[in-house]
Structure 1
Amino acid sequence: MAASEQISAELWDEFHTVVNMTSRELQEWLNVESAGEETEELPDRSGKATGRRVLEILGKRRTDLTEDDVAVMRRVRDIVRSQRGPDLEPTAGGADWRHGLMDIGHDPLKPV
């Protein structure tokens, strides 16, 4: 069975709900996060691996997803839901917590 057949409309919608940063916002965040005082990663290597995968998925159509993409989507959805709960209302928290969520495309201060 193809990955596009495995992904449900529910997972697709949930992923695009919990990932509330645009591709541009996420790319800019990943670039900032990986920039150091003296060096800066290349754009395709900046940020955490999961964040880069989320960025790739955001650029795909549902029919083009791989099994690995679907696994990443489930993992991101589960992480955000476990840390945020069902309502996803804007919530302030510690900087490390917020930045960890932003690394995978979810800004807890941004309205859904």
Structure 2
Amino acid sequence: MVPVQNDRRATTTLWRPTGPEELDLVRDLGWRAWPPRLPEQPIFYPVLDEDYAIKIARDWNVKHDGAGFVTRFEVDTAFLTRYPVQQAGGRTILELWVPAEELDEFNAHIVGKIELVHEFH
């Protein structure tokens, strides 16, 4: 994770590959929070590498949902220290695993808005 210093506190850039349904829920939340996980989704996993997020959105979300999107957002770096980086495969396949029951607290540490940065159909 590479911290970015803004005018108030250090933040870390994260990416999230997502399908159209989750993106609609983020839009409904004013681009400021992630929606609650479904019962079969015990973990929210933002990723640390934009290329990895693109690969998931393009190769998985498009196949399963007809469209895939990549979002980018900033989170308070000090808060993120509670989530060890998980290597889910290769050297750049890095994720944070946020338990579903901690997502509200995670959302409270998002700095600014969630941005849509890539779209695949």
Fold-level similarity (TM above 0.5) = no
Higher strand share: 2
- Larger-Rg structure: 1
Shorter-chain TM band: under 0.3
Structure 1 length-normalised TM: 0.27
Which structure has more relative contact order (CA 8 Å, sep 6+)? It is 1
Higher helix share: 1
Structure 2 length-normalised TM: 0.25
